Structure 1
């Protein structure tokens, strides 16, 4: 025993050491061998299989893509995965040593760079071990996330590198990497869209070049790591047989330096931050759902229903003026958080009125929970910043949820399992988050004296304007885009993919709100944002959208300052009055388009500019209020820096992760397939018109899925949708066309946007839309009448389609003027034309004889159909062969009318009806709608389609 003891080293002895450059060598060797071995094995064993793609094979294509080489075949797939797994060790060491090289006292960016490197490494594991063969979507999602994270990894590495060889080569390989992306994208488009033979081989060379530059960029670390010596130190003298090779003086320094990476960062802190984010997501989900449910009732009443009073549920913070209520909710914040989940659980309530009242209770608890959460947050340094940042990120999460679920929030009470809802999941997570909600310990640090708090009114005004603008403009990523939408050809942003750009702007705003609060709450920033709002309202396409993005960044950046300003006052007054002002803005936001149905409506008729200006004025008052009170965080610099870095770390983790998620969703939703009509061989064009009642069915469920199925089964190539503009608070800021168009493969023109003050007209088409113009028909008294005049490329023939919604029955002069306006549009066209319309007239009477006239040259699809009042299909210079009326089921209050036309034949039409047996089979309507039909849809009125000579 004594001899063994003598062989042991003294505590603190170095038992092994190696130069840091071997980390770089190992990483480069293993990563390079993983890719090269897969390439060599694949080319040797499966050459013809891995060079073949969806369009071509050898000899047109003769070099495999990275995915084909590493993921499609055995054994190369297994060899690659084994060596990539071995690379993981050097990879994590490389990230850690890179941090140590660049970390400096007080330097924050090296920490961010290290976190990005860690997340990027895990996304690499995602696309390596989930191959395109296993799951193509998730493979691409991880690959895109990896590529996106490469941007901050490479640029960040260059930014923090000291001058020398390492910086020189990092710039070279970094620039080479990004330059190579240009031909990569070009040849991918040549392959995927234009189907050029051999383009994929060139694309593959570009892809392999990216792999080389990526590995080479990290290999440059050898210049940095040569200055390191990695040692294994025996702290307790337990090793035997290894002589001491040096002193351990560097051990303590390494520990201290390593601790800097996690300064202020704790798992518990991240968990609490995550809980706040999810609670905010629930808050925004419940608040944004209230308007949708209220809207259901005036739709059926065609005016004020009385249920609008539930909007005032948001002023529930006034109840905190009662001492008992304030003490209860302050001591037990879990009560309010659980209470707002009533709004999520409302989907379990079948009756529309009962469901609305359930959500009303959820909104009451939600606004109380928000008020309590920010009560006196100035008592702790940067607590307000932390909670406000979580609040903003929760809002962004709700927007991303809608982006991923085609403009519907998956936990809204209009959603359920049948139409794509995730209500159970959202409710379960909400219960966990609510229970784990904690009450911050009250403190005495930085409590603002009452003499310095100023007037609560300024804070309330700012908060009202902020929440209204967030809700009305940004609660869906497509709203800003439809404000500036002008039709075809496309000269501006599209909901996909540019909705992701809107969300990226939101994340930028959140980050600015964290790191530059003094600027974001300044008058300079407010002036810039006001200019952005003016540009958004005044211009279309990219110009208007850029103005909207400027406003977006600003709105998210001022959240911390405004919520902190509100927190120094009693929440009952500040938040209660803020939500009262918010409710007034919401009503004004509806009045601008619903003026024909509400008392005093003409005062705000078509004055979105006034509503936007008032909201910005309120924000200006909030800026004034922020300037009157001190901000939090004026305690010791040490305490401040730790808390500040912690909030910034949490924000970056969430914002980076959410940005990668958004990019992945945008990529997944982008379609590269060209829409194809249902009957191209017979050159048949099937059209339809449907008034869809704003996408809420008779039982108050979102109806996009049921609408999609009906349009698909009727094989409609072109369909006009009316009452389709839902880009308002009261309608949920939804886009009813997204899911239908993407699932069925159709082009879509949304029609006049929400700032054009109509109830909406949309056009979906399997045929390319060459051009489209939006019209607002004369409406001196009643509601505005929208129209879309589009030219479609139908089997090589330009065919015009007009989608039109006339004004209401009571306004006779409006309808006369609108009739003349649409007739002029039709008469001015020289192409064959189809009108898909809502005319509010009886057949063969009144305005009907202006629509069907010598001037318009239009014909009724079936003049003998006397049982019509609203929907009509008219046509000219095109061969009509069939007409049918299909019941609506419980989706809306209006049937589907549909007609079939043949292109490229004699357009002469006869009103003589013939049996179906005398019509070519490809012209037949689907048999599934005969008799009882399918899902409540059936041929009705005639009980069968009508066919014509």
Structure 2
């Protein structure tokens, strides 16, 4: 109620604080509602139209289409949202005055986030996607990220009013819960192009607006005790916080609403949490990079190089079996953890061999330091849980960082500034985190003889640790790994790496905190059976069913990590972790040999047996579960879940990482609006390239250099071979994600990492209508992968085959594969292109099976005698150009490219098929072909960055 008093009383105006909340609510609601009414009235059919469908398939506009696309609804929204800013800033200020308490930092932090959130709202409001798409998205994402601490902070600071607490709890829960169906229907619209999905998405989007405004409207309940006064005499007043102590019932209700938030925020505890998580991130960064750097050497030696021995650097915890050395390590943990940063600093070493040596030392120190820390802290529940949470949330952060950098960790030693690395920043933060991580003196766990008093077996604990770390590393160090296990090509019938990766991260997060709050349940046999079932479903099924098994397994692995690490830390660290990492290394080699069997002794015994690897992993974890069960007292009092401060800090950090992941996923949503380079000429430029697992000759990640060459060569379609990197030795990464998204292309990864091939992938500027994956006959040698894809090219269906033949040492395999592929190519009547690695000489042997009446395919240039591996074949198309581009130091194989004109009718296709060999292969000069048919001139002569036309020294043209 407002009041007016005479000037003698000194008060000109007084009104209830509720008016600030109501003014904010009315102004914000009017901004959106007025824009919606005006938009529907004036531009209904235009604002319900999207890139795929319009009215009547889509009949309700999205928020963004309503407020940002057209005049005058855009102006209505901007005017009222500007009016909202005044009461908005007042609302944030009043909330701070209401919640501030001496010695508490959380109210100030929440107020800061409230102001920041308000400013970013103004940013994405007045900078529309039409004005500047990138800044609009950045500000929108910043607003969403700031909503998390604002919402949860308001709940944590809420005064003891049960009605307000309940409303905030339900509104916040509904807000974040709505994000799940919102994302689902956006995927249905954007990726699957389902008619009507965008309208459903729009309803959830408008629901978010209502819930967001409604959450802030609850402050009207709390501001009822405030009175705003305007006096005619200037002065400052000091508000008094209410000192009433909430009842136990209200405190219980508030704690339930607060969830993962600490009741009393301190910067010291927050910094401890950040340091623990980042140091855990550093551990996983060094461990996951070791196999990748080791792999460089056998890759270039084409066999065992001797450098494989460096994988054993992780068994350094064996050193803790030496009593004096164990005491020395535990007494100098800060030095050990700082030395572990050598793994991050190794990027400074240019020479690949020396870089591996430095990295190996860093891995040894990292494993030694972490195991010694866990062993020392195992006598104190809270400190031990904090370290375990730091280690495991560090894994979640590592997976998130790889997703943000499109499956490369930005501080791996194969990264540097030239290919997107943030190594310097990562190393600096690593030093600060290590110093903070080790600021407390370690709690010594006593002599080794104490291990005899512990129930259970250190040997069984070691098997559990080995299976656990292998599962975490091989399946959860990248959110796209298990998605690619169940990937079977187009049309999409399961999860997609960029749109569903968060589901894996969410499962990891839920599993971890389930294990923290219920460790006995996580270490139980029922949960073990559920995890084993998930592993089997993932191994034997594809599409959504297989991925549901993956989510079950992800949840289980992070949940069981808590009891397994706890049981192992109480045993002799030399046995439980030293032997544990040795067993982990055995599983790493086992999981490599199933595909690399042709290059290792005894490899054929385990060829193509990923199922054996999974069974062994789950068996070892089962032994660890048995040890945990036998270590527990037979009778113990049931412990209620603890809501101690450290768990809430780590919970908040995990939730923040999840929100960052979702924002990155929003930025990575496929646009599906890709354009070829020369549509006016109906030209397709196709290429084939063996990319050597995206490691260049100097052991740097080569995605940026590959992207530049593919873009400058103007490739519309490209086949990539030796492209499957979703294994520990290749870093569990996927270069095709970066290339496809940066170049604006559709991508088919090809046969997944559980199909035991070296990989074949397809990138296309044209929509992939359908694709099938093939594993060609390989009774002796390595499996030969193939992709058979149908593309919609300028309205004409064209078949593209990408194929990698078996190795030279197995001629019978290559003969059988040539017959299989010839039949496959001959089975389609459509115009076709083969982008391949054939391992044959031109005009000889299996070449005459690939190029034959049986296949119907023709060689792109039969006179090119200097080929052994890469070939481009075609049929039913007008071939107009062929060139070979030198690789520089990117890989060991050149890029071969060809240009084709797409026929417009069946008559033109028939005419191309009817051409004689002489007519088809008639060469002409470059000046005789149109400008749009020509290859880029920048590769002539010396070319650019080591890339030039070679062999012929210039492209060849045909007419």
Shorter-chain-normalised TM-score: which range? 0.7 to 0.9
Distance 1:531 1:30, change over 3 A: same
Q: Residue 921 of structure 1 corresponds to which residue in structure 2? A: 931
1:652 to partner: Cα distance: 1.8
- Shift, 1:704, TM fit: 0.6
- Cα distance 1:183–1:785, how it changes in 2: closer, same or farther (>3 A)? closer
In structure 1, distance between residues paired with 2:684 and 2:465: 52
Q: Summarize deviations over 1:709-748 as a string: whole Å, max 9, x none.
A: 1111111110000000000000100101011100111010
Q: TM-score, normalised by structure 1?
A: 0.85
The residue that corresponds to 2:286 in the other structure is: 286
Q: Note the 1:59-208 alignment, pairs <5 A.
A: 65-66=66-67, 79-91=83-95, 121=114, 124-125=117-118, 127-131=120-124, 133=127, 135-145=135-145
CA distance 1:828–1:225, shift in 2 (3 Å):
same
Deviation of 1:888 after TM superposition, in Å, equals: 0.7
Q: Does 1:835 align with 2:834?
A: yes
1:498 aligns with 2:500: yes
Instruction: State the distance in 2 between where 1:184 and 1:693 align.
Output: 36
2:305 is paired with a residue of what secondary structure?
coil
1:679-690 pair list within 5 angstroms: 679-690=678-689
Q: Is the Cα–Cα contact under 8 Å of residues 479 and 502 in structure 2 kept in the other structure?
A: yes
Distance 1:923 1:143 in 2: 47
Q: For residue 915 of structure 1, report the CA deviation from its aligned partner.
A: 0.2
Structure 1 339/185 Cα, relative in aligned 2: closer, same or farther at 3 Å? closer
Aligned residue for 2:389, secondary structure, equals: helix
State yes or no: 1:358 paired with 2:368.
no
| Most deviating of 371-380 and 501-510 | 371-380
| Structure 1 position 817, deviation (Å) | 0.5
Q: Bigger CA drift: 481-490 or 80-89?
A: 80-89
Alpha-carbon distance between aligned partners in 2 of 1:193 and 1:855, rounded to the nearest angstrom: 36
For 2:565, the equivalent position in structure 1 comes to 563
Cα shift readout 1:198-229 (whole Å, capped 9, x = no counterpart): x99x999986675345434554576x659x85
| 1:12 equivalent in structure 2 | none
Conservation of the 8 A alpha-carbon contact between 1:130 and 1:138? no
Residues 142, 448 of structure 1: CA spacing in aligned structure 2 closer, same or farther, 3 A cutoff? Answer: farther
Kindly state the Cα deviation for residue 848 of structure 1 after the two structures are TM-superposed. 0.6
Residue number in structure 2 paired with 1:438: 439
Alignment of 1:387-536 (within 5 A): 387-436=387-436, 437-440=438-441, 442=443, 450-536=452-538
Preserved CA contact (<8 Å) 1:381 1:635: no
CA offset at residue 821 of structure 1?
0.8
The alpha-carbon distance between structure 1 residues 187 and 313, as it changes in their structure 2 partners (threshold 3 A), is closer
Whether the 8 Å CA contact 1:174–1:217 is kept in 2: the answer is no
Tell me by how many angstroms 1:433 deviates. Answer: 1.3
Residue matched to 1:5:
none
Distance apart, 1:501 and its partner CA: 1.3
Given that 1:377 and 1:564 are in contact with CA atoms closer than 8 Å, whether structure 2 keeps it comes out as no
The residue number in structure 2 matching 1:548 is 550
Rounded Cα–Cα distance in structure 2 between residues aligned with 1:733 and 1:93: 50
Corresponding residue for residue 8 of structure 1? none
Closer, same or farther: CA 78–189 of 1 in aligned 2, 3 Å: farther
Q: 1:338 to 1:785 in 2, by over 3 A?
A: same
Change (3 A) 1:173 1:660: closer
RMSD: 4.6
Q: Say which is worse superposed, 787-796 or 140-149, in terms of deviation.
A: 140-149
Residue from 26, 32, 44 that aligns with 1:32: 26
Please give the alpha-carbon distance, in whole angstroms, between the structure 1 residues aligned to 2:421 and 2:237: 65
Give, in whole Å, the separation in 2 of the partners of 1:938 and 1:43. 59
Distance 2:27 2:44 in 1: 19
In 1: Cα distance, 2:956 partner to 2:872 partner: 14
* Pick aligned residue for 2:951 from 909, 919, 941: 941
Q: Per the alignment, do residues 54 and 698 of structure 1 end up closer, same or farther by CA in structure 2, a change over 3 Å counting?
A: farther
Structure 1 719/249 Cα, relative in aligned 2: closer, same or farther at 3 Å? closer
Query: Is the contact made by 1:752 and 1:761 (CA closer than 8 Å) also made in structure 2?
Result: yes
CA distance in 2, matches of 1:62, 1:855: 54
1:379 CA displacement: 1.8
Corresponding residue for residue 881 of structure 1: 880
CA distance in 2, matches of 1:868, 1:51: 57
How big is the shift at 1:87?
A: 2.0
Shift of 1:510: 1.4
CA change 1:838–1:632 in 2 (3 A) is farther
> Residues 433 and 948 of structure 1: is their aligned pair in 2 closer, same or farther, counting only changes over 3 Å?
same
| Distance in 1 of aligned mates of 2:375 and 2:289 | 25
Query: Given that residues 688 and 899 in structure 1 are in contact (C-alpha distance below 8 angstroms), is that contact kept between their aligned partners in structure 2?
Result: yes
Q: Distance in 2 between matches of 1:231 and 1:72?
A: 32
Distance 2:183 2:535 in 1: 37
The 3 A distance-change label for structure 1 pair 835 and 26 is same
Q: Which residue of 2 aligns with 1:784?
A: 783
Contact 2:479 2:501 in 1 (8 A): yes
- Inter-partner Cα distance in structure 1 for 2:74 and 2:811: 70
CA–CA distance in structure 1, aligned partners of residues 518 and 540 of structure 2:
29
Q: Is contact 1:180–1:209 with CA below 8 Å preserved after alignment?
A: no
What's the CA shift for 1:632?
A: 15
Q: How many residues align?
A: 898
- Classify 1:623/1:231 alpha carbon distance in 2 versus 1 (closer, same or farther; 3 Å): farther
Question: Which segment is superposed worse, 504-513 or 890-899?
Answer: 504-513
CA 1:834–1:693 in 2, change beyond 3 Å: closer, same or farther?
A: same
Question: 1:161 and 1:633, CA in 2 relative to 1: closer, same or farther beyond 3 A?
Answer: farther
2:583 and 2:195 mapped to 1: Cα distance? 59
Q: Is the 8 A contact 1:38 1:70 kept in 2?
A: no
